[in-house]
Amino acid sequence: MGYERLGDDMKAAIASACGGRTAVAEEVRRQHGRGESYHADMPPDLVAFPRTTAEVSAIVRLCHGAGVPIIAFGAGTSLEGNVLALHGGVCIDLSEMNAVLRISAEDLDCTVEAGVTRLQLNRDLRDTGLFFPIDPGADATIGGMAATRASGTNAVRYGTMRDAVLSLTVVLADGAIVTTGGRARKSSAGYDMTRLFVGSEGTLGIITEVTLRLHGIPESTQVGRCTFTSLDDAVATVSQIVQMGIPIARVELADAAQMRAINLYSKTDYPEHDTLFFECHGAASAVPDQMALVQALALDNGGSDWATAQTAEDRNRLWQARHDALYATTAQRPGSKGFITDVCVPVSQLAQCVALARSLVDATSVPATIVGHVGDGNFHVICPIDPASATERGEMHELTGALSRLAISLGGTCTGEHGIGSGKLDYMALEHGDSGVAAMRLVKRALDPRGILNPGKVLPPLAQG
Amino acid sequence: MGYERLGDDMKAAIASACGGRTAVAEEVRRQHGRGESYHADMPPDLVAFPRTTAEVSAIVRLCHGAGVPIIAFGAGTSLEGNVLALHGGVCIDLSEMNAVLRISAEDLDCTVEAGVTRLQLNRDLRDTGLFFPIDPGADATIGGMAATRASGTNAVRYGTMRDAVLSLTVVLADGAIVTTGGRARKSSAGYDMTRLFVGSEGTLGIITEVTLRLHGIPESTQVGRCTFTSLDDAVATVSQIVQMGIPIARVELADAAQMRAINLYSKTDYPEHDTLFFECHGAASAVPDQMALVQALALDNGGSDWATAQTAEDRNRLWQARHDALYATTAQRPGSKGFITDVCVPVSQLAQCVALARSLVDATSVPATIVGHVGDGNFHVICPIDPASATERGEMHELTGALSRLAISLGGTCTGEHGIGSGKLDYMALEHGDSGVAAMRLVKRALDPRGILNPGKVLPPLAQG
């Protein structure tokens, strides 16, 4: 599909549609043409900073009329080239739509503008006794997290953005504004448009407001850590925890290489072996028993060096170290950029998949670490690569393919939480079949007939000829 | 849209496509032209009993070519006219596709054919230590439950079919076969087609296989019951339970009228006041503390007559009585059929909504009962009506409208778990807005351009120009 480049008339019209808040300076455009990954920058032609859904709608209408691509942009923390302006066009930066519109402590929900970040939301919630649990490492925006179907360390207990979003306000390709649901906890009234837009990466509509489920801050929290000599033992521990219905809140894997990187970066002195981090939280009367069960299972499965974080400060340092895994890995190699890829498999396949992933990365020239949300069967491979090295970029491309094929062959998915973006298009047909991709294409064409919404993402290009 | 009636050639072709397992006898057709509601029978022209996804695909391809409507049919327990053959056509009865294909105790999941019923599945799971928690009152099929986005008493803890379904095999309108996901617990690989088909009531595709999340049978279960003189007090109790993060498994409301009906039908002697039923389950070490907290909250909020079911038999009798609410209500009036409607609102609006619902039903000539999944803000009004009485049917139509408008005005939905079917088409635009319905219509047209899949359901007819 051919796209129009932005002429001066369109630039003026878009500026006029959003109160003059547009930018064409190269530095601003470059900032908006990249995520936190190794992909080369692909800047848009113009960046707009709307403050209302109506302004977003007006911009989209203009672009729809002119056949100009539109890329929605949150915090720029995506990892699969999700925001690259592959065909130029207009970047809609939603960071000025950053109001928390409504919080209901009684209903445990809130409505926020898309540009609110997860840390901002949790700061705003602090006095309500509630929190928002979804925590990808970066301080992403809620809109971006919804668009990517993001998750993080708490997903084993609280689910992903698929579960957290009650309703969305979305601007469609022609500028129409749709609200996809009410505030009821469940509904069987019509098609689940909420879930259709969650994870669509800006290719079906631009998310401008999000209504979220919240949760009560647990009365008590305990954190434990245990090392294992065999990945099978670590995964067996996790399987048993889940099967027994212990309401574990977090269970995270970091491999020996990741533990070394964390110690160097975070000035910690954790044992440098494959490690599981556990968090239990809930009623003060229940948590110690849960944690004792977790410990007993870990030790039964050959775990050692069991340790608990005793204070809130210790706990926070431990989880910050975990969240900084990407930065810790890239810090090992100055000047590197983190190549990071994620896959997700049934938990029964996880030990095998991680072991094979380790042998795949060991065959490259780049030192890699592995971390994972092991309760979900989801893990990340992090490689600090030299972005200027075509050899290393080629190795990472091969690695992504091999890992994706491996995960799919084990009944899993080529991405658990990073999305397809432009980085994983090659594996969509393998995962969903030609008929599955064809059905998605029908939906895309129905909602975006001119193909202006984040073109080149999620759906692989149609074969030529 | 005009539809073709079935000619003899088509009848023969369809019979040939599914091993001769078709029926045209009036009694069979009538059985397949109704649910468990008061709607008048609307029989299909032919009923087919396929045994494989390939047979379903072959039938659908024939109907697609000829422009003949197709209605998928499970156990016939739907409540909003969801399976009526409004335009004739072919009913695909999936009850012979009733194999449990795979159970993984390690991954807590299974794959079943669409015609497996929920009780059959739980019987098959008994030796695995696992169970499937979604429990609408009737013994519905898993395929039908997925198509209706069903839930039930456990949804406050385990979610609805939206959450329970990991993946579907679906036959599209042109006969193409799509599998919508793998077995990974989460994925961000492309559009969430699983959730698009869940709740689509057979209007976007025919579900033939379902992969489900399962859960470990809890080590310990306790059930309690408490009566309240004020609905506000009962709802306040529930709000506090949810806010405190007590992992309540079930919390059900039955109003005084429902309790009278239950006592008569189930030969019980419960106090005949507004009543909450509670279930806590989990580790044996945790459940007594949870139940003690629930009891304390209930009594703090003015509850009385606290009682617990001590044995498994008592517990089962109690939940059976609750599940028989519809039958208990219709038994009060011999010859009646249950008119049942459900709405769902934010929990903060529930007490007000139930009180207004009670005054709406009291203004009709029919004695009604109210039961609800109060932890979700979802409740049912059950009226035993004389199906031959146009007056009563008219009253129920008015009541449905008034309740739907009320729930939507309170931020809720016109149906929490029964679906739209043909019974609630009038409230789709009020709930979703014209732009929301228009977006659903785009999706429908993309996936079913000839409109042959369960025509006349979910989406209201386009206004005539």
What is the domain-level CATH number for residue A379? 3.30.70.2740
Total of domains in chain B = 4
How many percent of chain B have pLDDT more than 70?
Answer: 99
pLDDT, tens digit (0-9, with 9 covering 90-100), for B358-390: 999 999 999 999 999 999 999 999 999 998 999
- Structural element, H or E, at residue B62: helix B53-66
Q: What DSSP designation does A410 have?
A: T
Q: Does B244 touch chain A (CB under 8 A)?
A: yes
Instruction: Tell if the CB–CB gap between A189 and B129 is shorter than 8 Å.
Output: no
Query: Is A443 inside a domain boundary?
Result: no
pLDDT number for residue B127: 94
Question: What is the token pair recorded at A25?
Answer: 């300076």
Instruction: Tell if the CB–CB gap between B187 and A344 is shorter than 8 Å.
Output: yes
Question: What is the token pair recorded at A380?
Answer: 């990340």
Residues B276 and B379 in one domain: no
Mutant choice from A151, A185, A403 vs B, greatest count of B C-beta within 10 A: A185
Question: What is the token pair recorded at B351?
Answer: 């007490």
pLDDT number for residue A464: 56
Strand, helix or coil at B157? helix
Q: Does B129 touch chain A (CB under 8 A)?
A: yes
Predicted confidence band at B52 (pLDDT cuts at 50, 70, 90)?
Answer: very high
Strand, helix or coil at A225? strand
CATH code of residue A180: 3.30.465.10
SS3 content of chain B, % helix, strand, coil (to 5): 40, 20, 40
On chain A, the residues whose CB falls within 8 A of the CB of B459 are 190
pLDDT number for residue A1: 56
Query: Is B229 inside a domain boundary?
Result: yes
Mutant choice from B130, B188, B280, B340 vs A, greatest count of A C-beta within 10 A: B188
Question: What is the token pair recorded at A260?
Answer: 């070394």
Give the separation between CA A208 and CA A216, rounded to whole angstroms. Answer: 26
Residues A347 and A399 in one domain: yes
Residues B112 and B206 in one domain: yes
Give the separation between CA A252 and CA A319, rounded to whole angstroms. Answer: 10
Q: Is there a contact between B289 and A283 (Cβ–Cβ < 8 Å)?
A: yes
pLDDT number for residue B16: 98
In sequence order, the β-bridge partners of residue A424 are none
Give the separation between CA B123 and CA B117, rounded to whole angstroms. Answer: 10
Flag whether pLDDT at B463 surpasses 80. Answer: no
Give the separation between CA B169 and CA B194, rounded to whole angstroms. Answer: 9
On chain B, the residues whose CB falls within 8 A of the CB of A419 are 188-189
Which of these, B420, B458, B418, B464, lies nearest to B440 by C-alpha position?
A: B458
Q: Exposure pattern of B192-209 as b/e (b: 16+ CB <10 Å)?
A: bbbbbbbbbbbbbbbbbb
Residues A137 and A176 in one domain: yes
Residues B138 and B196 in one domain: yes
Residues A186 and A79 in one domain: no
Instruction: Tell if the CB–CB gap between A106 and B243 is shorter than 8 Å.
Output: yes
Query: Is B463 inside a domain boundary?
Result: no
Give the separation between CA A278 and CA B244, rounded to whole angstroms. Answer: 22
Query: Is B450 inside a domain boundary?
Result: no
pLDDT number for residue A358: 95
Which of A289, A323, A357 delimits the end of a domain?
A323
Low-confidence ranges of chain A (pLDDT < 70): 1, 464-465
On chain A, the residues whose CB falls within 8 A of the CB of B218 are 245
ipTM of the complex: 0.96
Of B7-11, B155-159, B313-317, the range with the lowest mean pLDDT is B313-317
Give every CB contact of residue A463 below 8 A, 6+ residues apart in sequence: none
Q: Does A318 touch chain B (CB under 8 A)?
A: no
User: Residue B394's CB: how many other CB atoms inside 10 A?
Assistant: 11
- Which of B172, B184, B432 has its CB closest to that of A344? B184
Give the separation between CA A201 and CA A197, rounded to whole angstroms. Answer: 8
Predicted confidence band at B113 (pLDDT cuts at 50, 70, 90)?
Answer: very high
> What is the residue range of A357's domain?
329-425
On chain A, the residues whose CB falls within 8 A of the CB of B446 are 442-443, 445-446
Placement of tokens 């008219």 in the chain: B394
Instruction: Tell if the CB–CB gap between A436 and B180 is shorter than 8 Å.
Output: yes
- Structural element, H or E, at residue B357: helix B350-362
Predicted confidence band at B464 (pLDDT cuts at 50, 70, 90)?
Answer: low
Residues B105 and B200 in one domain: yes
- Average confidence score pLDDT of chain B: 95
Q: Does B432 touch chain A (CB under 8 A)?
A: yes
Instruction: Tell if the CB–CB gap between A347 and B107 is shorter than 8 Å.
Output: yes
Which of B216, B243, B265 delimits the end of a domain?
B216
pLDDT number for residue B246: 87
Give the separation between CA A36 and CA A335, rounded to whole angstroms. Answer: 14
Flag whether pLDDT at B191 surpasses 90. Answer: yes
Instruction: Tell if the CB–CB gap between A290 and B283 is shorter than 8 Å.
Output: yes
Q: Is there a contact between B419 and B201 (Cβ–Cβ < 8 Å)?
A: yes
CA closest to B239 among chain A residues: A106
Flag whether pLDDT at B465 surpasses 60. Answer: no
Residues A85 and A173 in one domain: no
If you compute the radius of gyration of chain B from its CA atoms, what whole number of angstroms results?
22
Give the separation between CA B66 and CA A403, rounded to whole angstroms. Answer: 45
CATH code of residue A61: 3.30.43.10
CA closest to A243 among chain B residues: B216
pLDDT number for residue A465: 43
Please state, in angstroms and as integers, the Cα–Cα distance from residue A144 to each residue in A79, A85, B6, B70, B249, following that order: 12, 16, 50, 39, 33
Query: Is B138 inside a domain boundary?
Result: yes
Residues A391 and A375 in one domain: yes
Longest dimension (CA), chain B: 70
pLDDT number for residue B1: 56
Query: Is A439 inside a domain boundary?
Result: no
Q: Does A329 touch chain B (CB under 8 A)?
A: no
Strand, helix or coil at A126? helix
Task: List all residues of chain B from 147 to 166 with a beta carbon under 8 Å from chain A.
Answer: 148-151, 155, 159-160, 162-163
Give every CB contact of residue B132 below 8 A, 6+ residues apart in sequence: B110, B118, B121, B122, B125, B164, B212, B214, B215
CA distance A23 to chain B (A): 31
- Which of A160, A184, A433 has its CB closest to that of B178? A433
Instruction: Tell if the CB–CB gap between A239 and B106 is shorter than 8 Å.
Output: yes
Give the separation between CA A132 and CA A164, rounded to whole angstroms. Answer: 9
Instruction: Tell if the CB–CB gap between B109 and A438 is shorter than 8 Å.
Output: no
Mutant choice from A148, A191, A232, A450 vs B, greatest count of B C-beta within 10 A: A191
CA distance B70 to chain A (A): 19
pLDDT, tens digit (0-9, with 9 covering 90-100), for B257-301: 999 999 999 999 999 999 999 999 988 888 998 999 999 999 999
Query: Is A356 inside a domain boundary?
Result: yes
CA distance B330 to chain A (A): 25
CA distance A78 to chain B (A): 12
Which of B189, B216, B243 delimits the end of a domain?
B216
CATH code of residue B297: 3.30.70.2190
Residues B72 and B163 in one domain: no
Query: Is B451 inside a domain boundary?
Result: no
Question: What is the token pair recorded at A279?
Answer: 């968090």
- Mean pLDDT across B118-141: 95
Residues B172 and B188 in one domain: yes
Residues A271 and A337 in one domain: no
Strand, helix or coil at B169? strand
